[in-house]
Structure 1
Amino acid sequence: MALSRALFLFSLIITIFSTMAMAKDFVVGDKNGWTLGVDYQTWAANKVFRVGDTLTFNYVAGKDNVVRVNGSDFQSCSIPLTAPVLSSGHDTILLTTTGRRWYISGVASHCKSGQKFVIIVLPQQQDIWSPVPSPSPSPSASPSSSPSPTLAPEAAPPSNAPWAAASVPRRSLLQKKLFQIFNRNMVVV
């Protein structure tokens, strides 16, 4: 009985940490943060963004902000009236759905000066502990090349919610929180 309980706990811990280890936190602009003078398209070009990952925007509060827009607003550097504007100076966005995401600075001419980028969010990566789903043919599936981060209009404008989908399972949020708590208590040497 004790052995089976220990194996269960071990399996649970391995499952939680293997899933958490797959989620990444991307600090936008790395050490430069979210500011003018950084080529964010180049920054994003060599990264793979997946559901469950987070984007962290670091900047001086009151001097900048972050706005998620659609493709046409991205190209024109326009901010829709209903678009949520983040302005805390340390904004973290959980990527909850697949597809293209466009982010711009809504301050003065920052967007027109290049403070913007587009990413493609891919499905969450399967880990070795998860069962592999069997492929099922889709009637709308058509052969295509891998997605490229080109500027194309989004199918629907972003919702008024602060970039979270209501249908996302809470499991990934719990694992992310546990990971953050665990890392907060670690000493970096």
Structure 2
Amino acid sequence: MALSRALFLFSLIVTIFSTMAMAKDFVVGDKNGWTLGVDYQTWAANKVFRVGDTLTFNYVAGKDSLVRVNGSDFQSCSVPLTAPVSSTGRNTILLTTTGRRWYISGFANHCKSGQKLVITVLPQQQDAWWSPVPSPSASPLPSSTPAPEAAPPSNAPWAAASVPRRSLLQKKLFQIFNRNMIAV
């Protein structure tokens, strides 16, 4: 009886996970956050960014800022006059489309001192439950000269309030499954 219940739960979990994209939350710079003295290209080098993932930028409000720019502005560390600048201290950005994303600090000379990040966003992984995890080398590497972006930025950090929080359903199902397996 307990075994059949456990198998049922396992089947349910497999069904849910196989139809669900496995989005990831990336805290830019990990525990260091968005600040001077961090090599963000090294930080991003072993990560694969996909549509549906989120980037969270943590920094000291009023003492730093975040600006999404195009490739040429990234290269020159220029903040366009029309670019919205966020200085709230925390920005969560939902990656909604594929392609390159360029982020710089708009504060003083922080960008010229290396506080900038370029990533390539890949399509959502299909059937994430059964597919092997891609190696970081499988993602396109940023070139030394970023190409200019054709359209204006669409993943603005100031729209972060509308980013949905992650569901605890996966964690709860995992706990239920493990509890039942131990009871068997």
TM class by shorter chain equals 0.5 to 0.7
Identify which range, 79-88 or 10-19, moves more after superposition: 10-19
Is 1:142 matched with 2:154? Answer: no
Give the number of aligned pairs. 182
Structure 1 residue 169: Cα displacement = 12
Pair 155,90 (structure 1): closer, same or farther in 2 beyond 3 Å: same
Give unmatched runs, 5+ long, in structure 2.
Answer: none
Identify which range, 69-78 or 161-170, moves more after superposition: 161-170
Pair 158,40 (structure 1): closer, same or farther in 2 beyond 3 Å: same
Residue by residue, what CA displacement relative to the aligned partner does 1:81-103 show, whole Å, maximum 9, x if unpaired? 22222222121111000000000
Partner of 2:152: 157
Structure 1 residue 182: Cα displacement = 16
RMSD: 7.8
Pair 87,182 (structure 1): closer, same or farther in 2 beyond 3 Å: farther
Partner of 1:20: 20
Give unmatched runs, 5+ long, in structure 1.
Answer: none
Partners of 2:139 and 2:45 in 1: how far apart? 25
Partners of 1:77 and 1:38 in 2: how far apart? 16
TM-score using structure 1 length = 0.66
Alpha carbons 1:35, 1:59 under 8 Å: kept: yes
Pair 101,181 (structure 1): closer, same or farther in 2 beyond 3 Å: farther
Structure 1 residue 142: Cα displacement = 18
Identity %: 90
Secondary structure at 1:153's aligned position in 2?
Answer: coil
Structure 1 residue 80: Cα displacement = 1.4
Partner of 1:125: 125
Secondary structure at 2:47's aligned position in 1?
Answer: coil
Is 1:109 matched with 2:109? Answer: yes
Alpha carbons 1:105, 1:115 under 8 Å: kept: yes
Pair 20,68 (structure 1): closer, same or farther in 2 beyond 3 Å: farther
Secondary structure at 1:187's aligned position in 2?
Answer: helix
Pair 164,179 (structure 1): closer, same or farther in 2 beyond 3 Å: farther
Partners of 2:165 and 2:149 in 1: how far apart? 26
Identify which range, 38-47 or 8-17, moves more after superposition: 8-17
Is 1:98 matched with 2:93? Answer: no
Partners of 2:112 and 2:15 in 1: how far apart? 44
Residue by residue, what CA displacement relative to the aligned partner does 1:42-80 show, whole Å, maximum 9, x if unpaired? 111111100000101111111111110000110111111
